[in-house]
Amino acid sequence: MSTTTGHLDLDQRLARYAADLRELGAIRSPAVQKAFATVPRHRFLRSFYYRADRYTLAPGELPSARLLDVIYANNALFTHDGSDGDPTSSSSGPSVMAKMLEALDLRPGMRVLEIGGGTGYNAALLAAITGAEVTAVEAGRVAAANAGATIDELGLADRVRVVHADGYHGDPAGGRFDRIIATCGIAGVPPVWLDQLVEGGMLLAPIAHAGVHPILTVQTAGRVTVQGRCALWADFMPAAGNLRPSVLFAHDPNTSISADNVGRDVAAVPAAGPDRYNDLGFYLGVRDARTNRAYLDAPEFSPAAGSTALVEDDAAVWVQHNGDLLHAGPESTIAPLREQLHQLVHEWDSSGQPAATEWRARFAPASGTPAPLLVPSQWECADASPSAR
């Protein structure tokens, strides 16, 4: 029997939720749409934050219609925070989840490993699509326990196994999988993940690039070459530990540049606009490893206008949607950064403004990391020559 929730019963609400995701273009296949229309997202939420407010759901009770409106909309919901108050786990935005599930090219019977199990909702969606075993590895003790309990309550324990472990090592049991999906931002791919893929298998992961974590598909060619391509633009909360060692990041995107010597070059470069800005950001990350997201505590700066910058020490030059270059820091550092960013944006424009999804990479071992990681080391585009990062 369906449960009434205001104007919609739950079955109707789930069906509309899935249909809305299809209308957005996030869902393309009947199998993914059916999964979103049948797996109840609210059951995987014990508590969550939305617009700075925290909501706690009573176990076994249906949330109010107002909360269901929030849950069954295209909202990312933070579910756990750390001792410093920063979020450590979330239920990702449904449109991003759906796009990632479509990018996995899932088929019935495929075994899937998920790194960053979070609430368990995505693992349940995976099981609904494949009808096969899903292993979800979650580093957070409380998050893993809650996810496992919900999986048990929904009668999915025969298909979904939640493991509390360090995701760097993949499946602690050493299983083999047709697909591996990471749902946390990582710096590179641990070689053990590739060892746990069957021949012809595929990995999908948000891998650090230009201060964010665009989602790449990664496959092996033979036994030696590891190749990847950008599947879609997104960003995820960063993983901890060996999956994202600080030694690979000269600048933390969450820190702000000092508001010294702030200036603006109006309409200095071709305007990417909000629709192509992420494509420009990806290109800048390919061409210059100093590309990052940066923030400035000054009235001249608005993240909504664009936060991609070339960053060096305590100086940065931002390219904004409208083609302005905003800069802050010592003039001796800013001057060459402005010139280099000006040149790179013109390069992107004159090369036909390639989209992020046109780029392919070869992976190679990172240097100086505490544990082995394979990172994108050489990018190439259909209309561009190979570029070393």
Catalytic residue IDs: 92
Q: Which residues sit opposite 374 in a β-bridge?
A: 189, 365
What's the distance, Cα to Cα, between the start and end of the chain in Å? 57
- Asked whether the beta carbons of 231 and 204 are under 8 A apart, the reply is yes
Question: What is d(CA 142, CA 281) in angstroms, rounded to the nearest whole number?
Answer: 36
Q: Which pair of tokens denotes residue 387? A: 């570029």
Longest CA pairwise span in the chain (Å): 70
Name the residue among 354, 219, 238 with its Cα closest to residue 285. Answer: 354
Cα of 20 vs its chain's centroid, Å: 21
Tokens matching residue 111: 């075994």
Nearest CA among 269, 232, 255 for reference residue 359: 232
Query: CA torsion sign, 219 to 89 to 236 to 308?
Result: negative
The set of residues, in sequence order, having a beta carbon less than 8 Å from that of 126 and lying 6+ positions away, is 101, 106, 112, 114, 134, 160, 181
The strand ranges marked E within 82-195 are 87-91, 112-115, 134-138, 160-164, 177-182
Helices (H), 24-85: 30-38, 65-71
> Which amino acid, one-letter code, is at 226?
V
> What's the CA gap between 10 and 90, in Å, rounded?
23
Give 116's DSSP letter.
Answer: S
d(CA 217, CA 101): 12
The three-class DSSP label of residue 290 is: coil
CA 321, 323, 328, 334 torsion: positive or negative?
Answer: positive
CB-count burial class (<10 Å; 0-12, 13-18, 19+) for 124: buried
